[in-house]
Amino acid sequence: MIVTDLSKSFYPVPKIKNKEKTKEITKIKNKSYKLAKLENNRFSIITNNLDKCYICSSKKEDLHEVFEGKNRQISMKYGLVIPVCRKCHKLIPKDKTLREKLHQVGQKAFEKHYKTENFIKVFGKNYL
């Protein structure tokens, strides 16, 4: 005999929710002391005027590290920081030619200011 209708004989058991497995709310990780100190003491070897945007000369709202990502802290350490307004700060990641131009300006300033350091050893790439 082949059973084709299982609707009356099959009663699935509902899963019991375990209250112990609820997801815990975690706090956002605080910045390390070293990173916070670097961010508070940022300076620029590219420009002397930290009050105006480096790109459009409007009022400065943010500081942008020329080399982002894994080289961000190194940029802060060596002063490869530029003042930018919010509009330009949002534009930099989207505009590849502007980003490349800033990388070239940053490398030239680094090589001019730190004559004993090797840029390629520090940042791992030549942008010129």
**Tell me: the pLDDT tens digits for 87-127?**
988 898 898 999 999 999 999 999 888 887 888 888 888 88
Interval 106-115: pLDDT, tens? 999 998 888 8
Q: Work out the average pLDDT over 21-41.
A: 69
Kind plus residue range of the DSSP H or E element containing 65:
strand 62-65
Q: Which band of pLDDT confidence, cut at 50, 70 and 90, is reported for residue 42? A: confident
Cβ(115)–Cβ(94) under 8 Å? no
pLDDT score for 84: 92
d(CA 85, CA 54) in angstroms, rounded, equals: 8
d(CA 41, CA 36) in angstroms, rounded, equals: 9
Q: What angle do CA 24, 26, 29 make, to 5 degrees?
A: 160
d(CA 101, CA 98) in angstroms, rounded, equals: 5
The SS3 of residue 19 is: helix
Query: What single letter denotes the amino acid at residue 125?
Result: K
Interval 56-97: pLDDT, tens? 888 888 888 998 888 888 898 888 999 999 998 889 889 899
